[in-house]
Structure 1
Amino acid sequence: MLAPKKGRLLIAEPSILNDDSFKRTTVLLTEHSENSTVGFILNRPLEYVLEDLIPDINCNFTVYQGGPVEQDNLYFIHRVPHLLLDSIEVANGIYWGGNFESLKNLLKENLIQATDIRFFLGYSGWGANQLEDELNTNSWFITENDFQNIFCEDEESIWKNKLLQKGGKYKIWANAPADINMN
């Protein structure tokens, strides 16, 4: 079993179907230490676009629910560190944050594409040993992020594809309807 590490993906086990915050989610881990873990849910698009939250930016990029913590704050991950100073490398060409004023200007000038960035309201966070406890109770499994570009992935199939990749009993769950009562 892989251990939590920034850049890896946290995949919700089918057993947490009753957890509305994390049911059928894939979380990119952006930070992991013995004291805390932070990540963003990659497959929960909201009904907002960036312009809805920041009206002076004419940008229709989808905003995602990053997690249940600090849902009134906007976060972003990207793959353009050469354009956004102060970015923090997560792994494999993915960066977290950066100078927001520069970002606003780049978006206004259409110099960043939707395939280069993803915005989130809130984040997913765990305190010391909390994620390890959840891993031990089979709420999650960890996998490498082997997507060529996570910003291009179809959010509806990210979770399903990781279950199919894991194989075995996960193949059955990958094809189960979102509402198991509909089966």
Structure 2
Amino acid sequence: MHRAEDVTPGMLLVATHLLADPNFARSVVLLLDVNAEGALGVVLNRPSEVLVADVLEGWGPLCAPPEVLFSGGPVSRDGAVAVAMVRDPEQEPIGFRAISGQVGMLDLDTPIELLDGGLLGLRVFAGYAGWGAQQLRGEIDEGSWHVVPGEPSDAFRADPRWLWRDVLQRQPGQLAWHATRPTDPDLN
């Protein structure tokens, strides 16, 4: 597990049992930007029922299954954030900004024809999660988040229901034990 000082774009925030906010219970957040002013990320495991094709014409076929909007977080839910994985990080398509390796943000104003098969995956999020300066550090220090390395495929899973558990299970040592923790320990 990493410390608050180690938080960088591409890392994952995995909600702990101490995080009571329903927006983030058992969530996995991909950090997209971290700087002195704060941090921004998207929740990877909150699919909606809304098809991307119904709100962003032409983008649906480029999306990884399921081709639905994901709830990226409680901030600016009427806006869209796109996360993509490129085929070749040496030949980034227009409108792509790398975050970590092959994964980055994609500008949805980019003409689709300019992407020309350069993407391995795309996911569109309605809204995002944001933290002010020092806010995320405080939440990590109080034990609300585990900070762990992400894998490129985390953002593009066909079935994101088990992402929280799977990310914890692949961690070394005692952190993996948290994957089996029941939502309500009183029911155990």
Provide the TM-score with structure 2 as the length reference.
0.80
Q: Which runs of 4+ in 1 moved over 6 A?
A: none
Partner in structure 1 of residue 162 of structure 2: 157
Q: 1:34 to 1:170 in 2, by over 3 A?
A: same
Q: Secondary structure at the match of 2:157?
A: coil
How many angstroms does 1:118 deviate by?
A: 0.7
1:95 and 2:101 aligned: no
Q: Secondary structure at the match of 1:157?
A: helix
Q: Aligned runs of 1:17-166 on 2, under 5 Å?
A: 18-54=20-56, 56-57=57-58, 59=60, 61-80=67-86, 82=91, 84-98=93-107, 100-103=109-112, 105=113, 111=117, 116-145=121-150, 147-150=151-154, 151-152=156-157, 154-166=159-171
- AA partner of residue 128 (structure 1): A
Q: Secondary structure at the match of 1:15?
A: coil
State, as a whole percentage, how many aligned pairs show the same letter. 27
Instruction: Kindly provide the CA deviation profile for residues 108-141 of structure 1, in whole angstroms up to 9, marking residues without a partner as x.
Output: x9x577x511110000111100000101110001
Structure 2 residue ranges without an equivalent (≥5): 62-66
How far, CA to CA, are the matches of 1:13 and 1:149 in structure 2?
Answer: 22
Provide the TM-score with structure 1 as the length reference.
0.82
How many angstroms does 1:154 deviate by?
A: 3.4
How many angstroms does 1:174 deviate by?
A: 1.8
- AA partner of residue 94 (structure 1): V
Instruction: Kindly provide the CA deviation profile for residues 135-175 of structure 1, in whole angstroms up to 9, marking residues without a partner as x.
Output: 11100011111x2522136312221122223342652x422
How far, CA to CA, are the matches of 2:187 and 2:93 in structure 1?
Answer: 45
Instruction: Kindly provide the CA deviation profile for residues 20-63 of structure 1, in whole angstroms up to 9, marking residues without a partner as x.
Output: 01110111111000111011111111111102223x43736121
Higher strand share: 2
